[in-house]
């Protein structure tokens, strides 16, 4: 994981939407002449001739005073344009992005917030946990490669964090199934690789009988496929 801090006056009016808010990164070919000024409007006008590669990333931290945001990039071994950019990023580089998007609103009346995801979802899980109030209860499962990828996740809520380690042959679905759901009303947020999200969604809806509106599944990436848009 690489944490990249992006700052500048252009972030002065960045309007945070909280929790798992995300931005769309635009990667243009290096030789392209970008419109001036570069705004969402002018970028859109050029879309038919110059279409950037677009990738979604979570805002891990927003500081409205210093006009900074942090983005945590998984440096996955397949190295797509976004991971590649992050692996090479150095102070002074520019990042073009649009956003943020609206974000997940945890249900305050739920007895438990269940947060499940792989390392691409770790920034969102970390941000959601940070926003939960004292008195809330959250159980999070985060799949990572090995113990070195664990992070300290702060929260005022009562939290139970389980690190699911691929180096020990563990997988999110197996660990979540083995534990079962906590007792009480549960609201679940699930993100990560498409097949894993699908399997967990099926488990939560069909086997655990959670209502559809209590489960928020999102595909963050697709194994073997460059994310399209």
Ligand X SMILES: Cc1cc2nc3c(=O)[nH]c(=O)nc-3n(C[C@H](O)[C@H](O)[C@H](O)COP(=O)(O)OP(=O)(O)OC[C@H]3O[C@@H](n4cnc5c(N)ncnc54)[C@H](O)[C@@H]3O)c2cc1C
| Residue 74 interacts with ligand X (CB under 6 A): yes or no | yes
In angstroms, what is the minimal distance from the CB of 221 to ligand X? Answer: 4
Tell me if the bond preceding 55 is cis, omega within 30° of 0.
Answer: no
CB closer to ligand X out of 11 and 54: 54
- Which of 67, 81, 145, 163: binder of ligand X (CB under 6 A)? 81
Confirm or reject binding of residue 220 to ligand X (CB under 6 A).
yes
User: Residues 6 to 35: which contact ligand X by CB under 6 A?
Assistant: 22
Closest distance of CB 36 from ligand X, Å = 26
Q: What are phi and psi of 202, to 5 degrees?
A: -60, -45
Q: Is 182 in the site for ligand X (CB under 6 A)?
A: no
Q: Which of 57, 97, 104, 203 binds ligand X (CB under 6 A)?
A: 57
For residue 4, the minimal CB distance to ligand X (Å) is: 10
223 binds ligand X (CB under 6 A): yes
Number of residues that bind ligand X (CB under 6 A): 24
Three-class HEC string of the chain: CEEEEEECHHHCCCCCCCCCCEEEEEECCCCCCCCCCCCHHHHHHCCCCCCCEEEEEECCEEECCCCEEEEEECCCCCCCHHHHHHHHCCCCCCCEEECCCCCCCCCCCCCEEEEEEEHHHHHHHHHHHHHCCCCCEEEEEEEECCHHHCCCCCCCCEEEEEEEEHHHCCCHHHHHHHHCCCCCCEEEEEEEEHHHHHHHHHHHHHHCCCCHHHEEEEEEEECCECCCC
120 touching ligand X, by CB under 6 A: yes
| Closest of 150, 208, 202, 142 to residue 175, by C-alpha | 142
Determine the residue with CB nearest ligand X. 80
Residue range at the interface with ligand X (CB under 6 A); choices 10-18, 77-85, 91-99, 105-113: 77-85
Cβ closest to ligand X, residue 63 vs residue 208: 63
- 116/114 Cα distance (integer angstroms): 7
Stretch of 68-76, 92-100, 103-111, 166-174 contacting ligand X, by CB under 6 A:
68-76
Question: Closest separation between CB of residue 153 and ligand X, Å?
Answer: 14
Counting contacts by CB under 6 A, is residue 222 touching ligand X? yes
Which residues of the shown chain bind ligand X in the complex (CB under 6 A)? 22, 55-58, 72-74, 76, 78, 80-83, 120, 123, 220-227
């Amino acid at each position: 994981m690489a944490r990249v801090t992006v700052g500048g006056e252009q972030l002065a009016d960045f309007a945070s939407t909280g929790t798992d808010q995300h931005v769309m990164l635009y990667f243009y070919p290096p030789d392209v002449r970008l419109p001036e000024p570069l705004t969402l409007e002018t970028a859109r006008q050029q879309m038919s001739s110059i279409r950037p590669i677009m990738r979604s990333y979570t805002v891990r931290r927003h500081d409205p005073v210093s006009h900074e945001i942090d983005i945590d990039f998984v440096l996955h071994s397949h190295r797509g344009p976004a991971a590649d950019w992050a692996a090479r990023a150095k102070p002074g580089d520019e990042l073009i992005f649009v956003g943020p998007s609206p974000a997940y609103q945890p249900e305050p009346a739920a007895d438990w917030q269940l947060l499940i995801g792989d390392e691409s979802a770790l920034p969102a899980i970390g941000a959601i946990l940070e926003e939960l109030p004292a008195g809330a209860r959250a159980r999070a499962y985060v799949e990572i490669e090995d113990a070195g990828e664990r992070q300290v996740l702060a929260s005022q809520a009562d939290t139970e964090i389980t690190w699911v380690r691929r180096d020990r042959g563990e997988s999110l679905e197996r660990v979540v199934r083995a534990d079962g759901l906590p007792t009480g009303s549960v609201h679940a947020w699930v993100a990560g690789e498409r097949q894993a999200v699908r399997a967990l969604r099926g488990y939560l809806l069909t086997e655990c009988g959670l209502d559809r509106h209590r489960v928020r599944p999102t595909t963050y990436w697709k194994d073997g496929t460059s994310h399209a848009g």
